[in-house]
Amino acid sequence: MFKALVFDFNGIFVQPIEQRILAEVCKATGFGRWLALSNYFFLLPDLQQGRLSPREFWKRVFPQLTEQEYIEMVELEYEKPFARNEDAYSLAQQLSGRMQVHVLSNSNFLQGKAYRKQKLYRHFTGLFLSHETGAMKPFPSAFRHFLAQTGLKAGECVFVDDSAVNVFAARAMGFRSIMYKGNRQLVAELNRIGIV
């Protein structure tokens, strides 16, 4: 019997804005997109595990970025309302009355701050955000940390993510895993295993 539903957050409940920020900073500063992408993906694990602040991260992705540009093109973007996947939120709220519903997500400080401010995490039992735990998916440490903190067993959890690598990693750890492809598909999968 399943006791918990464990969701990734970005890509299911909201769309992350970091790639859009990267493109806009490239356009505004004339910095090469391929070099920016290379810097971005090389440094991303340090941001998502809390080893770099957002300011340090973006200034390493774009070495010439001024403080004013950082504030205007990065920090202020997180102040804008995020478009929510209302169907996914409704499902999480409905299920939270019957079982634990957690978030296990790769994130960064500005995301966590903005999502909390906009009350985007309010329907979840627990939050396991990589920048706070220091452990990111798909590494086993992220899943082990979640299990240790909740006291759950992997086989008692259904894990939902929009990344095939993360779904595969969770499955290898013993979670029942679902690759998120859309709201209808998710509801059908959860119905098939008796959760909805």
Running along the chain, 196 residues long, what does each successive block of 10 average in pLDDT? 96 95 96 97 97 97 96 96 95 95 97 96 95 97 98 98 98 98 97 94
pLDDT value, residue 196: 87
pLDDT value, residue 1: 85
Residue 158 contacts by C-beta under 8 Å, 6 or more apart in sequence? 2, 4, 5, 6, 175, 176, 177, 178, 190, 193, 195
Tell me phi and psi for residue 179, to 5 degrees: -85, 115
pLDDT value, residue 23: 96
